[in-house]
Amino acid sequence: MKQVMFDIETLGIESTCVVLSFAAIPFELNEAPDYQELLDRACFVKLHVQQQIKEFKRTVDKETMDWWAKQSDLAKEKSFNIDNKRDTDAATGLSILRDSLGLKKKTEDNKDFVFWARGSLDQLVIDSLSKKVHGQMLIPFSNWRDVRTAVDLLNEGSVGGYCRVPGFDSGVVLKHDPVHDCAFDIMQLLAQNYK
């Protein structure tokens, strides 16, 4: 199975919310890559907000907007900077993701991929957007896994789906930057490999 860590930044907590950006990093379960190597592998896509609202009727949640206002400038610059030059339309963004990972166009042809995410929101949102844009999901629904649960089960002393990675300074992680979130989640999922 091909393992992929996925993270999404949104303007809400419903499956129909606007997607600001997403990232995906392929990895192997038996490796122990360094943090920079994972960052370098990432596929990052910044989506055009207004296009999603107008064309697909995606939603924006006031509480989520208030939450974003309290986040770091670096996180906001990466995902929230609306209509900047990095923005792409949803169809192109999903195609970039598919191409970078080697996903096929039909959901059922991607049974050999496992996508990991922190909780279930990322799956629900990207599945909803993909169905709106392409009429189908990226991978089968049952091929998603929750990294939070896995980290708790695999690492004694983990708290709320987070654990210490031996020899790694988690202070370098830029929270709510989807590329950094993916890389850190891979390192936590594979923490046993670092011992």
pLDDT along the chain (195 residues), means of 10: 97 97 97 96 95 96 95 86 76 97 97 97 98 97 97 91 95 96 97 85
What predicted TM-score, i.e. pTM, was given to this entire model?
A: 0.95
Amino acid identity, residue 159?
V
Q: Where are the domains of the chain?
A: 2-194
Helix (H/G/I), strand (E/B), else coil: 26? strand
Between strands 19-27 and 113-117, the pairing is unpaired
Helix (H/G/I), strand (E/B), else coil: 174? coil
CATH number of the structural domain 2-194: 3.30.420.10
